[in-house]
Structure 1
Amino acid sequence: MTGNLTRLKVASLGAVAVALAACGGEPLGPIPYGNSPTPPLQLLGGYRSPEDPCQLTGETPLTIDYLDDAADLVGCPTGSEAEASLRATHGVEKLAQIGGSSLYSIPRR
């Protein structure tokens, strides 16, 4: 009986190994925003006005390292006029780019 059980275990392990080998190939890339279970940025509303494309950005796993209790984290559409205006007005450098948004930390004065 023990021999049959051992052969069953070996056969099961072999089947698992074959199944795992079949899963090989190219690694999965990043999940596109449209299919992501949660959006990459939590946008909380216009930064300089309600219609401002640059928006106050909240905490997510992707932004947590950029948050500062003495500054606002702002996300602007990358390459937009709103982004250029924000940079010129506040003299800030881009912290990161996540999806189509560039992140900036703007000190509260």
Structure 2
Amino acid sequence: MNKVDEMKSTVAGLSKLYSHRMRLGLMGILVVNDWVDFVTLRDALKLTDGSLAGHIKALDKAGQIETEKRFVEDKPRTSYRATAAGRRAFEQHLGELEDFLKLVNN
């Protein structure tokens, strides 16, 4: 297999779900933390509420994250964490991305 074919194969293994840099960042935050609230995610990623909500919806629909809604000091707080399946999928995506970068850098 030549280098171009290897690159095509590696790129084919990348998840389209994480092709958007904000979803990649969002999952990166969630896989290294237990629960992270909406405001913390919004501020860390410098997103609007609507934009973050859209990315969360896409990841939730794909079963990559789970949601917890509760009240803290009489105020609603929504937090998120990566599911086990989400962690595996994200780690696989990162592995494929690393393989691709190795091919490009050689």
The structure where strand makes up a greater share of residues is 1
Same fold by TM-score, threshold 0.5 exceeded?
A: no
The structure where helix makes up a greater share of residues is 2
* TM interval, short-chain normalised: under 0.3
Q: TM-score scaled to structure 1, two decimals?
A: 0.25
Q: TM-score scaled to structure 2, two decimals?
A: 0.26
